[in-house]
Amino acid sequence: MPQQLVECVPNFSEGRRRDVIDAIADEIRRTPGVRLLDVQADESHNRCVITFVGGLAAVKTAALAASRRAVERIDMSVHRGEHPRLGAVDVIPLVPISGVTMDECIAAAMDLGRQIWDTLRIPVYFYAEAASRPERRRLPDIRKGEYEGLAQKMVDPAWAPDVGEPKPHPTAGATVIGARRPLIAYNINLATDDVEVAKKVARAARESSGGLLNVQAMGVVSEDGRAQVSMNLLDYTDTPVYRAFELVRIEAARYGVEIEESEVVGMIPLDAVVDAARFYLRLRDFRREQILEAKLMEE
């Protein structure tokens, strides 16, 4: 059995008081079976984003402990910040990385939502793959009105929480919990400085204008002055990295432009890298356990 690996990226509404951020992160640090990877605090957003990984059970335990600490230390009635937010524990996404299915992450999200209501009395919405209805899939729709408009929003039966009573927690508001695929931030630089080419290629590549499903794309100018197709790949399991690369290659060729290079910004799951090797080397029956390092991660 491969090791169960889930990424959890909770957002808390505190980006200024270092001691509060540390106290929340410490709850995760001291939970057995999870590994804290990153803590990013943004002062103007007054918000922090914590990244950690582990098995499903340990991730739930850590997320609940961190949420309890956040509720103790954050008072939304005095919170100011530029980023839209609904609560002290604003959003908790669960992301399947390996050895775990999306369905298992959805079930865990629902379970965690129930625990957060039962123990902390914060009403919970489910979003993304865990959404109970289509209008709740997107975070911006759920966050609309923000903490300040929450009491009024919840009165509307269309916006009753998925778990708990339709009344915000007085200091913690509401929490949004869900499951989603890992996002891969992927940029392709074209061998031209004509940003118009990048814009046309981006339009051809993205879902919103007839291109690849699960791909967001825009044409921009890169740091070193190249025309760049800047993409978010929202589900590499259905729409792999190599397919985005090859479609951009073909669409750019129409304008006589080649791909100069591409760039993964931030993290990428191993399976997404293996998929590219499988495709280009036409690998037959290649299992990730054939990778020595991956085999070592098995339990």
End-to-end CA distance of the chain: 6
Q: Is 284 in the site for a second copy (CB under 8 A)?
A: yes
| Residue 67 vs 189, nearer CB to a second copy | 189
Give the pairing type, strands 89-98 and 11-12: antiparallel
Angle in degrees, 0-180, between the axes of helices 195-205 and 241-253, rounded to the nearest 10: 130
Q: Which of 17, 29, 35, 137 binds a second copy (CB under 8 A)?
A: 35
Q: Which of 78, 133, 281, 299 binds a second copy (CB under 8 A)?
A: 281
Q: Is 43 in the site for a second copy (CB under 8 A)?
A: no
Angle in degrees, 0-180, between the axes of helices 241-253 and 270-280, rounded to the nearest 10: 50
Choose one: 63-71, 113-121, 131-139, 278-286; the region binding a second copy (CB under 8 A). Answer: 278-286
Q: Which of 13, 189, 230, 239 binds a second copy (CB under 8 A)?
A: 189
The two structure tokens encoding residue 298 = 């098995």
Could you confirm whether 45 is annotated as catalytic?
Answer: no
Contacts of residue 116, Cβ cutoff 8 Å, sequence gap at least 6: 64, 67, 89, 122, 124, 163, 175, 177
Q: Is 49 in the site for a second copy (CB under 8 A)?
A: no
Pick out residues in 211-250 that bind a second copy (CB under 8 A).
241-242, 245
Q: Is 277 in the site for a second copy (CB under 8 A)?
A: yes
H or E element at residue 50? strand 47-54
Q: Which of 270, 271, 259, 193 is nearest to 231 (CA)?
A: 259
State the catalytic residues.
83
Residues that bind a second copy (CB under 8 A): 5, 7, 35, 37, 53, 97-98, 182, 189, 241-242, 245, 259-264, 266-270, 273-274, 276-277, 280-286, 290-297
